[in-house]
Structures are given as structure tokens and as C-alpha cells.
Structure 1
Amino acid sequence: MTQRPALFSFLLGGIAAVGFAPLALWPVTLGCFAAWMWLVHQAPTRRAALWRGWLFGFAHFTIGNNWIAKAFSFQDAMPHALGWFAPALLSLYLAIFPMAAAGVAWKLRRQTLDASYVLIFATAWIATEYLRGTLLTGYPWNPLSEIWLPTPVAASGRYLGTYALSGVAVLVAGALLLATQRHRRFPLAVAGVTGLLALSAIDTTPAAPTPTNAPRVRVVQPDLDQEQRPRDDYAETNLRALAGLSGSPRAAPRLIVWPEGALRYLPEDGYPPQYYGESAPFLTRARIAALLGPRDVVLTGGNALLFDSAGQIRSATNAIFAIDAEKRIVARYDKAHLVPFGEYLPLRPLMSAIGLSRLVPGDLDFAPGKGPDGVDLPGIGRVGFALCYEMIFSGSIVDRKHRPALIFNPSNDSWYGSWGPAQHLAQARLRAIEEGLPIIRATPTGISAIIDARGHVLASIPWETQGAIELPIPPAAPPTLFAQVGNLMALLTALVLALTAIAIRRWAR
């Protein structure tokens, strides 16, 4: 390792990606981080430390984001072969953040490897991971904290949140490193703190019995892939598949949830007739209402069109519609956090000139909605919304002034290869833990799931499987500490770690 530190940094970064879903080999990730932290400490110059940090990040994000390659197979306006390079091209940028963390840790290190170095590294990682999730609209996919999900430590996310919990992972990796250097106090202290965090997973509250008339949620997964969209009968085939899986009315009210983009017919009135195609909006809503009992509601992904004053279409929204048994649209949510290159093309004139397009077929960019929102549904409670990609943004999915009883997260993970759906589900579980809210995921090809307020998957439909799951709606927990203060916890945790590092150095003097 000392002979070719750059090569080993690269290899360690790639191997570290196996700790995330779907493989979840989290001890491997901790070991890779420990070895990488040692390589950064041993770097002879700042340039060498930065280079080792960038190589680690480049390999790490390229492997972790391999699912992006599949998205290019849906857009004929760009070469499909470009998909093989897309994860690496994205990682050229993402690697800057581990590089920055390594640079800060190296700059503030002492000659001898000690606890203060680990604390500074953890502080820098929290800061840079937060920046990765916010700069240039943010891309917080696969935060390091995700590796804790197979362990009880993940439960502490209700206090710490995603970014601070990532810092805990760096602390544990650093403690492993110091243990190999025959340090004892710091590894034991970190083991104790991690053990206390794991104990927070223990729930002594007895489960309340579920009333027989409790509202239920039914999640529908039609297993129709994006590749079927070019077919003329896609809209009709999809609606029939969704209807066939939506079940029969019950005595209790039901919330029936369909995936993102499930409804290919336009359900809203008031558009010029030429936009409706085969089905008028009233007939579409009537077909949906026919599936419902008097207190049932369907939540479905679809599109809304926006027109200018001359009646010309100017944009569209990626939307969720709530449709009741009276054939009414009782609410509409428009996605606010749009995906660059997926739902809009940044710098469109320039990108178009060089031959780049959106990964989603079509030239019309989506318009953003106003942000976290919800709707009160009789018999169900207040439902909040996070549409697809919005789910990965810690601290940004809940309207804090009007806390919902649950979050509906429709998504279309058929773009995401085989790794992406499992990683998306993992991040939904982190949001449930942070906010203390159940999350209901509906996707066309999987993985759809009902997640309780502690992040446990109560029921799911596997990837590339047609089916439906139905359960009583899981109860919300009281607002967690994170739900009340948000990502201020990342700042406070980083501040505590930095002050502890300073205290250790002054004590040593």
C-alpha cells in the first residue's frame, strides 16, 4: 500500500461502495475508509493528499452510481453508449467532496496519527457531504450514513440526521485505524458512543392494537417498464394493469397509491381537446372512481400541462393527483426539486447546440412546484408528498408547519438499473427514521414498500415483480429531534467534534 498509495486509494474507494444497498457489506466500507484515512495522513504533500482523496471519491461514486448508465437506453436522441461513461463523468465532480475532506484533514493533522486527526476528518466529512447535497441543486445520493441501515445504529438518525450519522461512520473507521496503531482510549470511547447510539433502537413501547376500521393503504406495482412507453397502447395497458391490482372496496377507508407517471392520460379538465388523446379527462376519472369505495382515495403520479396567455403549451409539471370516489381531483402536488438532465435541461441553448438532450424523451422541460406540501384526506389524515428524487434530500421533504401523518413517495425506478431501486429504498428508510413518519413508496417496476416511522420495511414488492401490498396505515411517531431542528444537527455535531479535537490537542500539550 505504501508503494502505490494512489492506486490503493482508487481501489479502496471502489471497494467501499459495496457497503451500500443492495450488497450492504458495511464492515467492508468501514475497513476501506480506515485504510484510506491512513493513506491520506501519510501523504508527503498537500497535493498528494488531495489526489488520494479525489481518486478514492472518483472510484467510490462511479461504482455506487453505476445504475445511471441504464437511463441512456431510454433516450434515442443521445448515444446509448454514453451511458457507460455517465457514472464516471458525474464522479469527476462528486469526487471533489472527498478530496476536500482529505485536504482539510491532512492540513490540520499532526505528525503522529492520533484521535484529533480522526475527529477533524469526521468534521470535514460532515461538512463536505452536506455541501454535496446542497450545491448546484445538490446530489446527496448514497450518504455514508446509509451503511448503518442493517444495524441498530441507524435508529440514532432520529436525533442526528443523515449527515451527522455519516460523521459517526468516519469516527468508527478512524477508531479501527487507531486500534491497529495500538491506541486504546479513543477506540474504546468510540465503541461506547456507538453502542449507546445502537441502544436508541430499543423500543419498549408496547404496540397498540390496530382498530378493525383503521384506514388502510394499498400499494400497486404494475411492473410495466419505461421501454413500453413508445407503444401506442401504453397509456391504456398501464391503466388496466393498475386497475386490476387496486383491489375491492372495504369497510375501512383505503388510500390506493399508484407510481410516478402511472397515469398517462391527462385527468384535469380545461386543456385544448387535442392534448387528451384517446380518453377525455372525465372518463379517465370515472374509470378510477369506479374502483373506489365511498371513502377511498387514489394517489397517482401523472402530468399537468401549463399554457401561456395565447393558449399555447409552455411547460408541464411532474405531478401527483388525488382522485376520490366522486370523480373529483381533490388535490394536486407538483414536484419541486427537479432532476437536471432528467426533467429539465440545464443551459438548454448550449446543451442542445452540442447535441445533449434530457434523458427523458421529449423537448418540454418541467416546471418546479412550490416545495413540501400535503393534503388532508377525510378518514386518512394529512398526507405529505415527496416525488421520486425529492426523497433523497434530508430535511427537505416535510412541511414543518403542517406535519403530515405519512409521506407518499411515488417514483419511477425503472430508469435505475438493478442497484438504484435498492439504494432509493434505503434512502427512503433514512427519511422515515429522521422524520418519525411512515413512508409509502410506489414504483412501476420496484421496489415498492410500506415503511414504518422507525424505518422498518413492513411489506414490499420485489424488483421487476407485478403485485400489490395492503396494510393498515402505520402510525406516525411524535416529532423526532431531527424533525424539529433539521440539519442544524449536522452543524452542532461537526462543532462538537471540532471542539473535542482542539481540547485533545491542548490536553496533550
Structure 2
Amino acid sequence: MLFLVAFVAGAVSAFAFQPVGLWPLMPIAIALLCELLSRDAKLKRALLIGWLFGLGQFVIGLNWIATAFTYQAAMPAWLGWIAVVLLSLYLAVYPMLAVGIAWTFGRSRPIALVLCLAGAWAITEWLRGGIFTGFPWNPVAATFDDTHLLNATATIGTYGLSLLVVLAGGLVWLLVRREWRVAGGIAAVLLALHFLPRPDVPDHPQNIRPIRVVQPNIGQQDKWRPGFSEIANQRLAQLSLKPGGAHPRLLFWPEAAVTNPLQDARGGPYQAYAAFEQARAASVVGPGEYLLTGGIALFSKDGINVTGAANSVFVFGQGARLAARYDKAHLVPYGEYLPMRPLLSSIGLSRLAPGDVDFASGPGPRTVALPGWGKVGFQLCYEIIFSGEVVDRRNRPDFIFNPSNDAWFGSWGPPQHLAQARLRAAEEGIPVIRSTPTGISALVDAHGQVVKSLPWREAAFFDAALPLPAANPTFFARYGNVIPLLLGFALVIAGIALGRAGRYRRNT
């Protein structure tokens, strides 16, 4: 019975994430997890409770991955749910590890259990973001994206906020147990953090720097259809050129907005066609303007055959002048490259995005100065979910452009993606601009608040003023994930000390 309750509690906690966003469900589910752990006397059973809790949370929260597999023509749609379950079986190991640490060192006292669980949860979420290329999607911190505690990420980062979410769950459990004194201490800490000030934004001249974010509402079923590129370009151009806003502007298009290569290292007609695509895309760019768009670059070692590709952001000035190109560094397995390609290809499994050539990784975060507009950093699609890895710290940008293709993420993926972009903005104190083909496109300020957005599955654009400059470097921006890791270890050590003190008092 305990095991079933653990799985159901984890599944219910997934509704604390977007798009449902019932954030109190997460602390309640964590409180129930603490109660289950306090009732079990064996480590193996406690580990299974933690694993089942994580399994329930990930299977429900990552349901959008099943939608991505519906675009696999050679495989049945139900395979998507198999993929969700298999991935969740692995990801559930991380909450299991957190629970194992908490049970091993904190089971003797309620406060020790809560502190160890909170600290270990932050540490294991950090591990989840790095092991096997990392998949830190939906840290529990993302459930608090619409609470004032989002401000705490500027100091302690996303994993630190996850620690606070688990502490909030522990607080609920301690209140139910009538552990008034220790519950009051945790409540005081959470209340104090609730009033943390936002990072300061320096004064700047009030000159308006207008931007336009374009969302063409092009679904994945159409995006790569032969001959559709002409329709897509017309739609993008129409939305870009519609009256409204001020000039000159920065124009933002989504990831892979142009599906034909914008650069091609093969000779002859291939380079000419790439030049044509550049000119067609940049036809919307006026004097003093720039277009930032997703596109593809093809590589060739011999000038004849394609030997590689890059998923890129191109920055075009007037006349199709290429000002910069950023190549995505953190690639998506099965989306942008196929692991174990010979084996998986033989059974009919291909990349979820069309193409037989795997993308190559770029060098990492890059900052580009755009005269008159400030400095822009780039994070392509799900690169934005990696806490502490989104900016070049030696050359801090004024804003981050995060083009994405969320068209195959179902209805749950896009709002979850936006929530994690908000965490990055609040952590770094840097505005984030998102352009996606089907939504949710948005402008997020340096405090993680959504200034403007476009609804899911709507062809539209919005005009806004570029929120320059960024906030002063936050504490997290200076020190990164060292802060939440130190905090996590400190809580685990404090929990161990309190647990041993409790056992000593009972023995004497």
C-alpha cells in the first residue's frame, strides 16, 4: 500500500508543474513522501518509495515526449509512451538517491529527515543535469515560477529553490506532526527569503529599442513537408512586415524558421541556393535592423558531400549581411543526433527531426555585440534548461535570445519550457526573448517575469521595448551552482548532526 501511495503522490505532484500550475501540490506531495519514509524501517523499501515517487512524477510530467514520437512515420505512436516510461525509469533514480540519503542519515528525527531530504534533493537534481549529457527538465523549483520565491534564484539558483520547495514540503509534514518549534524555524527562513529584494537594474537612457517577436504557427507536421518552405517564408515575412511598432527593430524568428540551409560548404549551386535563402529571409530587414533567426549550416570536407551540420542562429543585417552565427552546443539525443545509429537505424528508428546527418556541437555560450542594440547571448531550444550554463561569464550579455521549436512538445512541453526560461532569467538577472513556431513565444524580464507572450498555436507577433540593460550580476551569476551545492551539503551535514544528537539523547 505504501508503494502505491508513493507512486500516486509523485503523479499528483506533476500537476504542480505547468501547464496546470497548482504549485501547492508539490509541498503536499513532499510532505506525504516524508510521512511514508518515517513509517518504513528498511533502506530497500525507502529507496523503492523514493523511486516510485519519482516515477509517478516523471511519467505524468514528461507526457509531452510521447507527442514527439507521433512524428516518427516508421514507428507506431504508442512507442512514444514506451519512451516516456523508459526515460522515467531512469530519471526516478535521482529522487531515489535523495530519499536514500535522507532515510539513512535523518530517520531518527523528523527535522533531520527534512533537512537531509532537502539538501540531497538539490544535489541529485544537479547530478541529473550533468550525467549522460544531462536532462534537468522540470526541477521542482519550476513549480514555484509564479511565486515570489522565484526571486531567491538570483542568490541560490534553481537547485537552491528546489531545496526550498522540499523544505516547504517538510514544513507541511512537521506542522501535521505538531512539531511546532522546528516548523516555526523553517517557516521563518522561508518567510525571510520571500522578501528577498530583486536584483538592481542600472539606470539607462530612456531611448526605445523596439523588438518584434514572430510566431508563425507552423506545426511539426508541415515544417519539413516538401515545398512548404515557400509558404513558411511568406508567413514569416508577412508577420515581420505588418505595420505596428517603431523602427528600426530587432526581429526574432524561431529555431529552424528557415528549413533550407542558410550556409552550405558544398560548391556551385548549393552555395548559390543558400545565398538565395539568406537574401529571402533578410528581405524583411531595414536600415539599422537585424534579423535573428534559426537555420541550418551544412559542412563539407570535400566540397561535394555533406559531412556534418549545425543547428544555428543566424544574425542578418540589411542586404543579407551575416553579422554572426551561433551553433547549438547542447544537442538533443534522438532529436539532433541518433545515438548508436547503425543499430537503431536497422530497426527503423531515426531522428525525431528529419535528416540522415547528425548535427555537430558548437563551442558553447557566446555573446555578440550588435551596434546600437547591446550584447546578445544565445541559447538554442532546450539549452536554456541547463542552470549555470547559459552565458559566457567573461562577456556577460544584455539579453539572451532563446529560439525554440516546441511544435512537437504537445500541450505540456511549451509552458514547462517557458517556466524554465524564466528560472534562467531570474538566476542570471538577464532578460530572455523566446520565439517559437507554435508558442509559447515570450519576453521575460531580468526578474523572471513574463512581460509579453503569445498564446499556443496562434500565428501572431508582438512588439515590445528591449529591456536593457540587464540587472547587475546576481550572486548566482558570480558563483554559479557552487552556491546551491554548498547549501545542499550544509543541510545534509546539519541533518546528520541533528540525527546523531537525537540518537545520543535517547541512548542516555
Q: What's the TM-score, normalizing by structure 2?
A: 0.94
Q: Deviations over 1:411-454 (max 9, x none)?
A: 00001000000000000000000000000000000000000000
Aligned residue in 1 for 2:141: 145
Aligned residue in 1 for 2:251: 256
CA gap 1:341/1:153 in 2 versus in 1, 3 angstroms = same
Residue 46 of structure 1: how far off its partner (Å): 1.1
Q: Deviations over 1:59-82 (max 9, x none)?
A: 110000000011111121322221
Q: Give unpaired runs (5+ residues) of structure 2.
A: none
Find the aligned partners of 1:386 and 1:273 in 2 and give their Cα distance: 32
Residue 252 of structure 1: how far off its partner (Å): 4.6
Find the aligned partners of 1:47 and 1:172 in 2 and give their Cα distance: 26
Aligned residue in 1 for 2:397: 404
Are 1:28 and 2:22 matched, yes or no?
Answer: no
Are 1:285 and 2:278 matched, yes or no?
Answer: yes
Q: Aligned to 2:196, which of 189, 194, 200?
A: 200
Aligned residue in 1 for 2:121: 125
Q: Aligned to 1:95, which of 87, 92, 97?
A: 92
Aligned residue in 2 for 1:500: 494
CA gap 1:70/1:89 in 2 versus in 1, 3 angstroms = same
Do the aligned partners of 1:104 and 1:121 also contact (CA within 8 Å) in 2? yes
Are 1:344 and 2:340 matched, yes or no?
Answer: no
**Aligned residue pair count:** 501
CA gap 1:506/1:101 in 2 versus in 1, 3 angstroms = closer
Do the aligned partners of 2:265 and 2:298 also contact (CA within 8 Å) in 1? no
Percent identical among aligned pairs is 46
Find the aligned partners of 1:507 and 1:52 in 2 and give their Cα distance: 26
Of structures 1 and 2, the one scoring higher in RCO (CA 8 A, sep 6+) is: 2
Are 1:39 and 2:36 matched, yes or no?
Answer: yes
Are 1:180 and 2:180 matched, yes or no?
Answer: no
2:186 maps to a residue whose letter is V
1:143 maps to a residue whose letter is P
CA gap 1:414/1:18 in 2 versus in 1, 3 angstroms = same
RMSD: 2.0
Aligned residue in 2 for 1:19: 16
Find the aligned partners of 1:223 and 1:100 in 2 and give their Cα distance: 41
Counterpart mapping for 1:315-326 below 5 A: 315-326=308-319
Find the aligned partners of 1:207 and 1:372 in 2 and give their Cα distance: 24
Q: Deviations over 1:80-129 (max 9, x none)?
A: 22113221111010111111111111111344x42111101111111111
Are 1:224 and 2:235 matched, yes or no?
Answer: no
Residue 353 of structure 1: how far off its partner (Å): 3.4
Find the aligned partners of 2:355 and 2:277 in 1 and give their Cα distance: 23
Aligned to 1:455, what secondary structure does the other structure show?
coil
Do the aligned partners of 1:75 and 1:361 also contact (CA within 8 Å) in 2? no
2:479 maps to a residue whose letter is V
Find the aligned partners of 2:201 and 2:363 in 1 and give their Cα distance: 39
Find the aligned partners of 2:55 and 2:282 in 1 and give their Cα distance: 50
Find the aligned partners of 2:267 and 2:128 in 1 and give their Cα distance: 42
Find the aligned partners of 2:202 and 2:326 in 1 and give their Cα distance: 33
Q: What's the TM-score, normalizing by structure 1?
A: 0.94
Find the aligned partners of 2:268 and 2:221 in 1 and give their Cα distance: 27
Do the aligned partners of 2:266 and 2:303 also contact (CA within 8 Å) in 1? no
Find the aligned partners of 1:97 and 1:321 in 2 and give their Cα distance: 37
Find the aligned partners of 2:343 and 2:487 in 1 and give their Cα distance: 42
Find the aligned partners of 2:369 and 2:260 in 1 and give their Cα distance: 25
Find the aligned partners of 2:263 and 2:348 in 1 and give their Cα distance: 34
Aligned residue in 1 for 2:260: 265
